[in-house]
Amino acid sequence: MEKKNISDPRISDTRVNQESSVKDGRTDNGSADQQFFTFAGPGEEMTLEVGSCLGPITIAYETWGHLNADKSNAVLVCHALSGDAHAAATQGGQKSRPGWWDFMVGPGKAIDTDRYFVVCSNVLGSCAGTTGPSSLNPATHRPYGSDFPMITITDMVRAQGRLMDHLGIDRLLSVVGGSVGGMQVLEWCARYPDRMVSAIALATTTRHSAQAIAFNEVARQAIMADANWNLGNYYSSDTPDMGLAVARMIGHITYLSDEAMGTKFGRRLQNPATLSLELGNDFQVESYLRHQGRKFVERFDANSFLYITKAADYFDLAREYGSGSLEQAVSRFKARFLVVSFTSDWLYPTYQSRELLKAMKQNRIDASFCEIKAKWGHDAFLLPGTGLDRLVAGFLGGVCHGR
């Protein structure tokens, strides 16, 4: 049998020869509208949930709209695992690069920047302007790498609380977020119940299932198995791109659904004329995942991926605030609530939102719930066309008018 000349089928062979936007692990999102707030300077470091001290801390954030005279129209948008502060493109009538939630945030949209003062900040531990593992450690003048302390959702929210202090916002009209952003919403409700009027938790959970932790762990192992990871100290050498790309490919599968993949790709081939009969890129879905992995490497830091997925795995509202009882944890909540899940979300399935809702009803909290029929999987909250925008617009309008 003729021996085939097999080209290297690993995702590295599909990488474009393009200068990465990740420099020293820190992404430059190129937004002219990004602002920075630095706190926890020398002698005032923030004590993290794990007990370590961190400082100074810089938070990258963006704002849209105007804070009204009595400062009662502020909405905090919390991003998910790999998001950043750039939720929306439109700023003061000018359009910049696309935001990750453009169909939701903007003039006349569900989170209407003509009515609300909208704030979105990059989370602690990330790599889009906020302090994280790729930031310089003031003690060594080198990037922290794995010397960066473990951070939790609590720490992310406490940092957001400091940003609200800085912006002079005592009480938020609403805190909104999906996925890991939804965890931040829940943490806000438990930690700062008097600092918010309402909460919108989308496609989220009060704690990860064993399956969700398992997927995160496989993704983390992919990064740590990359020889370039070097125990997290790679900022002055080759970066663990292969590991990070595979980690994103694993994660991305969990953000879609069987039906979405069937509709988008089925078993269709990249080159319909022939099967390569090699370990190559035959199926469209293979090519698509490689593309998603490659793109992710251009905008995200591997250590941030490790730290933020771990923070999401540790998040457990009942353990943190209710000695294991969700009903007890939720008894701290004062916000009026909208909970939304999606039928095809198998990462944080609807039963998890229903558990949260049940605990809120047991505490007589004013909570609305909607399970949206959508086939796009967990990431449906990032896509237009599901009716999410109308739902959020109606809820926020009702909160504003005390309905």
Ligand X SMILES: N[C@@H](CCO)C(=O)O
Query: In the complex, which residues of this chain contact ligand X (CB under 6 A)?
Result: 80-83, 179-180, 255, 379
> Does an H or E element contain 367, and which?
strand 367-372
Q: Give me 381's structure tokens.
A: 């909250």
Q: List the single partner that 291 binds among ligand X, ligand ACO, none, CB under 5 to 8 Å by kind.
A: ligand ACO
Residue of 354, 341, 291, 400 lying closest to 179 (CA atoms)? 341
Q: List the single partner that 91 binds among ligand X, ligand ACO, none, CB under 5 to 8 Å by kind.
A: none
CA-CA distance, 378 to 382, in Å (whole number)? 9
Task: Tell me the closest approach of the beta carbon of residue 104 to ligand ACO, in angstroms.
Answer: 10
Tell me which of 75, 119, 382, 399 binds ligand ACO, using CB under 6 A. 382
Which one is catalytic: 86, 208, 252, 378?
378
Tell me which of 22, 33, 79, 159 binds ligand ACO, using CB under 6 A. 79
Residues in Cβ contact with 156 at an 8 Å cutoff, skipping those fewer than 6 apart: 123, 124, 125, 184, 187, 311
What region, left, alpha or beta, does residue 389 occupy, with left being phi > 0 and alpha being psi -120 to 50 degrees? alpha
Nearer to ligand ACO, 82 or 135 (CB): 82
Q: Give me 286's structure tokens.
A: 């293979």
> Does an H or E element contain 69, and which?
none
Show the beta-strand stretches assigned E in 98-137.
105-106, 111-112, 117-121, 136-137
Nearer to ligand X, 123 or 365 (CB): 123
**Catalytic annotation on 66?**
no
Nearer to ligand X, 180 or 399 (CB): 180
**Catalytic annotation on 179?**
yes
Amino acid type, 155: D
- To the question of whether residue 379 is assigned a binding role by annotation, the answer is yes
Q: List the single partner that 110 binds among ligand ACO, ligand X, none, CB under 5 to 8 Å by kind.
A: none
**Catalytic annotation on 378?**
yes
- To the question of whether residue 354 is assigned a binding role by annotation, the answer is no
Q: Give me 15's structure tokens.
A: 């990488």
Q: Give me 2's structure tokens.
A: 């003729």
Binding-site residues from annotation for substrate: 248, 379
Which residues are annotated as catalytic? Answer: 179, 345, 378
List residues near ligand ACO by CB under 6 A. Answer: 79-80, 82-83, 100, 178, 181, 264, 284, 287-288, 291, 295, 379, 382-383
